[in-house]
Amino acid sequence: MALTTAESDWTQGLREMIRAACVWEATARKPGNVHPQAAFADVRFEDFVRSADVTAPVLAETQRVGVGRAIREAVSVTCRAVGRNTNLGIILLIAPLAAVPRSRLLYDGIEDVLSGLTVNDAVECYEAIREAKPGGLGRADAEDVGSRPSVTLREAMRMGADRDRIAAQYANGFRDVLDRGIELLEAFPRESSDAASLEQAVIGLHLSLMAALPDTLIARKCGSNTAQESSERAQRVLDADWPATDAGRQEIQRLDHWLRSDGNRRNPGTTADLVAAILFAALRDARLALPR
């Protein structure tokens, strides 16, 4: 069935917002993450931009094709385009949000999307995760990603919610994105509407999330004590009144150095994924305007 003009315009708008959120998340010089001035051994900033280019059109069609299929296809196009997993967490977070009908705000509509997820959504999501091969995944006692799921995608995510912040969003109705995340983004002052001010707000959001929610990728790869230490170090940056003071700027440099040591194993990747989802949500519900 052909899309109406209004539907086509909405899909195009979603595509642009998804890409913008992903690119701005990757562009901001967040401590411990890849950005234009900092690469890892196996991934560069350009890989994240390319991933955003190829996945945005797929995710923009989520309401039409379904959450599970959109996740699987977005992971597949990413792997074909860049040859590795760069954005599985972002895909898992944005797909349900993109499925909310345009007539409803995300906060009002996300629960219907989550409660409507099926076993087939879980099957396709599991296939996507196996293709992406994320680091630090481990094994579960029930409904492990290496097996065929027998429960809905939301039920499967609930089983992993205690060890994965992304899975927890499926269980709690995306509260860390739509409640805490939006509030943190809006609370961080933007002195102007230019790109530098937006980057500062994104970094501030990243630090605030790290401080409040120990990064679960760090926890899975390095242990819960290291994840808690990363939170405490992020709080030190905020307590030192970053970016207004020399002490704050020194603290963020120390945090960045510590996160990048040990071969980037302390990369706060889950926090970065949440940042991308929060930026998309803020754009989608007109809580944020990007600089020209």
List pLDDT tens digits, range 213-258.
999 999 999 999 999 999 999 999 999 999 999 999 999 999 999 9
Are 97 and 203 found together in one domain?
A: no
Does 283 fall in a domain? Answer: no
3-state secondary structure of 196: helix
DSSP-assigned beta bridge partners for residue 38:
35
Residue with the two structure tokens 């939006």:
182
Compute and round to an integer the Cα radius of gyration of the chain.
Answer: 18
Q: Would residue 233 count as lying in a domain?
A: yes
Q: With a cut of 80, say whether residue 9 has pLDDT above it.
A: yes
Q: Decide if 259 contacts 230 (C-beta within 8 A).
A: yes
Residue range 17-69, pLDDT digits in tens: 999 999 999 999 999 999 999 999 999 999 999 999 999 999 999 999 999 99
Domain of residue 83 covers 9-175
**Strands (DSSP E) found in 49-200:** none
Please tell me the distance from the alpha carbon of residue 80 to that of residue 92, in angstroms, as a whole number. 18
pTM: 0.94
201 and 238 assigned to the same domain: yes
Torsion over CA of 36, 188, 191 and 19, rounded to 10 degrees?
40
Rounded to the nearest 5 degrees, what angle is found at the Cα of 112, between the Cα atoms of 109 and 115? Answer: 145
* Segment among 14-28, 44-58, 159-173, 189-203 with least mean pLDDT: 189-203
On whether both 92 and 198 belong to a single domain, the answer is: no
Residue 197 forms part of a structural domain: yes
Verify that 22 and 149 share a domain, yes or no: yes
> Does residue 59 sit in the same domain as residue 128?
yes
pLDDT > 70 in the chain, percent? 94
Domain annotation covers residue 70: yes
Q: Give the model's pLDDT for residue 135.
A: 63
Checking if the pLDDT of 286 tops 60, the result is: yes
